[in-house]
Structure 1
Amino acid sequence: MPSSGPGLPSAAAEVSGATPHVRLGLVRLVRTRGFRRLLAVRFATQWGDGMFQAALGGAVLFNPERQADPIAVAAGLAVLLLPYSLIGPFAGALIDRWDRKRVLMGANVVRAALVVVVAAVVMSGASGVALYLPALAAAGVNRFVLAALSVALPHVVPRRHLVEANTFAVTAGAATAAIGGATAIGLRELVGTGDAGSGAVTLIGIAGSLTAAVLAAGFRRGRLGPDRTDGRRSTAGSVLHGFADGARATIATPSVAASFLALGTHRLAFGVSTLLSLLLFRYAFTDAGPLRAGMAGLGEAVVLAAAGLGTAALLAPWMVRRWGRPRTVRVSLVVATVTQLTLAALLSLPIVMVAAFVLGLTGQIVKLCADAAVQGEVRDEVLGRVFALYDIVFNLGYVLAVAAAALLSPPDGAAPWLFGTAALLYVLGYLGHDMQLRRGRRLDAMSAKPLS
């Protein structure tokens, strides 16, 4: 079993719930030069990504010049996220061989160029393949950026501070993406909601990618790894074996496999909720006091979800120190289950707004625990490929859930039974997480037995 490194939890500690780690403090952490620059690259990248997703989503779903049924909404979401799963194994293998500084620079520049193409297509009023193909390419290139950011973190922060650094970086990055999305929604209200306005907002998003490329150029060559490669002579061999390598490394570590199962079921449930919520805001809800329907209401929900992400950054370290990662994950899954059942029973605009905050909070806590498990317990030479598998779990599950919900949902999204199904998914995640931890305890017990 891979060593977890000094100061990070071992597999046995993970299973038992004892998760020791050393706190550095946010101020001193941000003063760490390499971490501060990598954090700035993440913020610029994810702000631009949030802008792009919200602008393209608005062009497809909330554009008065276009009509969107559940299938069209699902197709738009799939375009934004499916490349992460299709390209993930290849990106992971290549990032384990290429200088990650160059990956961050080159991928951001290429992505900016592709976003310009998408903006031009949106302005022209085109749809279908003409729109989705460059959008798929832009999202695919972004996969390299986000994967490189994840695997570069252990190279700028001592391992004993990795849990704390990852908690802040991932949560603040996700909140920055939400701010980018809210920025796009606000700009659409200013420049117009038709094709021209949607295209202009999409174009503005290139500022994030270009800024990230400039910031990444400040790292010296080799600073972000990889320190060594897998030993295969050809990059093609690494690419072809990338997915299998990541799967083997994950299965070999029960605590990591448990985190994957918890995160995967969360993404399935969250995909169902996302599709239904988009349709409810578009077709079913009406304004309720200060709460808005339509695109403005969706913007409010995004802000609440971002607040949930920020709260997770404060709660997750405390929960892990008090309970350990396994119990923290399970508590989060239980809270998410109750939230989905409440949505099923009391489907209304105020309840959806509350759920946006709670699901943002609980989902991010589960993700932070999964990030810490991967970064702390997986060897560096396969880390990129494990994160590639991680992204498949994270994004493919979401896309599949959105597609299934689109096929089963009524046009206005009012489907309480589907919210109930999402609650059941969280229960299955809880059970799967517990099964993997039991497997880990059995393996630890077997390894502790003296040889006869």
Structure 2
Amino acid sequence: MADSVRALSGDDTVGAAGAASEASTRASPASGRGALLHGLRSVLSGPDLHSFRLLFATRLTGQFADGAFQVALASYVVFSPEKQATAGAVAQAFAALLLPFAVVGPFAGVFLDRWDRRLVIVWANLMRAVLVVGVILCLGFGLGNGPFYVGALAVLSANRFILAGLSAALPHTVPPSQLVTANAVSPTAGTLVATTGGAIGLIMNALVGTGLKSTIGVLATVAALYCAASFVALAIPAGLLGPDEAPGDDMWAAVRSVARGIADAAGHVKQRPSAGRALVAISVSRFCYAAVTIMTLLLFRNYFNNPHDTNKGLAGFALAVGLSGLGFGVSAVITPLVTRRMRLEAWMTLCLLGAAATEIVFGVAFEQTPLLVGAFLLGVVSQGQKICTDTLVQRHVDDEFRGRVFVFYDILYNSSFVVAAAFAAAALPPSGVSYPVLFIVAVCYAGVGVWYWFRSQKRPDAPIPPPGTQPATPTTSAMR
């Protein structure tokens, strides 16, 4: 769930996290903090950056609403007193959250390179406000789950265009000397406000309950915030955000080209075993993490607490998500330090084996306290593996393929979660207690860890140094 919040927050860390970890090994902490603070001040208060600040405000307003929308969706499907939470219902909710990132995201750039990006941001925000109102009407008139999920998918699909458009528009609002700083500030702040929006949604649910009226109230606030984001974007000067020139090829030919590009990326990864092995390992790990997330949600909803006391279940699950997120932060600090002293492949293997041990040691009792400790440790090792994967992919793919490879990576990353949701729907009981699923997850973690270690001992492909003036291209989706 912490990963899905991060995915929904927009500018994903695929690529960015790895770049940050490598940079941190070259710069001293003191100088890095000073440069970052100076950069923050320069982009937020510097002269001639009014358009950047408007774009930044558009992002923050919209992503705050994104976090609240995700919590409203989860609360209604899983923690509503009117509903019985099952693995199938949880799987549907996660599929609605993540399918747009895997399906819509890769193709967003085709349209953003042809349509006025300012107008895309303005109208897409208004469109998703209307769609949220439609979701409210579906709930109010009791139209069932089908229309509700269709509306949620439409909202999140529109979100993919907005987030990709914000990233594509950013270079038009800052001078080249401040582009790196702006790229660091925007996604980080977006993730923080999305998490804050989700946290406030959780607090409101805890205070006023998780029923239908509470969900409708949160969704109405979300629709108003999307409208506000649209009006902020409207204040940006017309034509400023590009594209400067529309591509000459046909739009649908470009869509077909994206599909070919993803296939080319898969072929290139096959020729770069160091990158390919890392992607296989993280796909399996992502599957396991997703299955554990759904299991944890059901445990807090139906096993650790009275199923009718949804507020308690929601509070417990929120604590588990928060501890896992804290583990992400700890890993971001320790992984650069550890990988100065051992190979990335060795740390990845330890993270995978550590995840397997965590599941057995802290999961098998199916008790709250050990599970919360396990959530924190799983956050540490999961993010450690991800940082290493990002870095290995950046190092070992040719620059001309790097953007397409990260799109391919993003599809694998989000699709693995959707596949795990389908597995959980079939394998988990409503209580979430399943020793077979727990051991399958542990065996998958350990198996891929052992496989990865032995495969990585083979002669690696030669690393491809990144261009001196061009950073690795992040994905346009989930810019998780």
Normalising by structure 2, what TM-score? 0.73
Give the direction of change, closer, same or farther, for the CA distance of 1:243–1:154 in structure 2 (3 Å limit): farther
Write the letter of the residue equivalent to 1:69.
Answer: T
Partners of 2:242 and 2:400 lie apart in 1 by: 10
Q: How does 1:169-248 map to 2 (within 5 A)?
A: 173-206=190-223, 209-210=226-227, 212-213=229-230, 233-248=249-264
Alignment partner for residue 129 of structure 2, among 98, 112, 121? 112
Structure 1 contact 92–385 (Cα < 8 Å) conserved: no
Structure 2 SS opposite 1:205: helix
1:27 aligns with 2:46: no
Q: Which amino acid aligns with 2:440?
A: T
Q: Which amino acid in 1 is paired with 2:130?
A: A
Which residue identity is paired with 2:137? A
Q: Residue by residue, what CA displacement relative to the aligned partner does 1:186-219 show, whole Å, maximum 9, x if unpaired?
A: 1123333221111111222345544554565677
Change in Cα spacing, 1:363 to 1:294, as seen in structure 2 (3 Å) is same
Identity %: 35
Contact 1:18 1:323 in 2 (8 A): no
Amino acid at match of 1:234: D
Consecutive unaligned residues of structure 1, counting only runs of 5 or more, are 1-12, 446-452
Alignment partners' CA distance in 2, 1:205 and 1:422: 36
Q: Tell me the residue number matched to 2:413.
A: 394
- Contact kept? 1:275, 1:406, Cα under 8 Å: no
Q: 2: distance between equivalents of 1:88 and 1:275?
A: 24
Instruction: Count how many residue pairs are aligned between Structure 1 and Structure 2.
Output: 425
* Counterpart mapping for 1:22-421 below 5 A: 23=32, 25-33=35-43, 42-95=59-112, 103-148=120-165, 173-206=190-223, 209-210=226-227, 212-213=229-230, 233-249=249-265, 251-252=267-268, 254=272, 256-286=275-305, 293-319=312-338, 323=342, 325-371=344-390, 385-421=404-440
Deviates more, 1:36-45 or 1:178-187: 36-45
Distance 2:224 2:179 in 1: 31
State the distance in 2 between where 1:234 and 1:121 align: 38
C-alpha deviation, 1:73, in angstroms: 1.9
Contact preservation (8 Å) 1:96, 1:384: no
Q: 3-state DSSP class of the match of 2:460?
A: helix
Instruction: Please state whether the residue corresponding to 2:249 is helix, strand or coil.
Output: coil
**Superimposed CA distance per residue, residues 67-126 of structure 1 (whole angstroms, 9 cap, x where no aligned partner):** 232212211221222222221332244345556555444433332332232233223333
Please give the secondary structure, in 2, of the residue aligned with 1:441.
coil
Question: Do the aligned residues in 1 keep the contact of 2:132 with 2:155 (CA within 8 Å)?
Answer: yes
Cα deviation 1:242-280 (Å, max 9, x = unaligned): 133034235425355444334322221111011111111
Judge conservation of contact 2:171–2:179 (CA < 8 Å) in 1. Answer: no
Please report how far the alpha carbon of residue 347 of structure 1 lies from its aligned counterpart in structure 2 after TM superposition.
2.1
Instruction: Indicate how the Cα distance of structure 1 residues 158 and 318 shifts in structure 2: closer, same or farther if over 3 A, else same.
Output: farther
Counterparts of 2:53 and 2:191 in 1: how far apart (Å)? 16
Indicate conservation of the 8 Å contact 2:395/2:463, yes or no: no
Counterpart CA distance in 2 for 1:320 and 1:154 is 32
How much does 1:336 deviate? 2.4
Q: Is contact 1:100-1:224 (8 Å) kept?
A: yes
2:227 and 2:342 map into 1 onto residues whose CA distance is 41
Are residues 153 and 363 of structure 1, via their aligned partners in 2, closer, same or farther at CA, if it must alter by over 3 Å?
A: farther
| Other-structure match for 1:6 | none
Equivalent residues of 2:86, 2:429 under 8 A apart: no
> Is the 8 Å Cα contact of residues 93 and 384 (structure 1) preserved in structure 2?
no
Computed over aligned residues only, the root mean square deviation of the Cα atoms, in angstroms, reads 4.2
**What is the CA distance between 1:349 and its match in structure 2?**
1.0
Alpha carbons of 1:183 and 1:309: their partners in 2 closer, same or farther (altered >3 Å)?
farther
Using structure 1 for the length normalisation, give the TM-score.
Answer: 0.77
Q: CA deviation at 1:380?
A: 8.7
The answer to whether the 8 Å contact 2:80/2:210 transfers is yes
Where do 5+ consecutive residues of structure 2 fail to align? 1-17, 44-48, 465-480
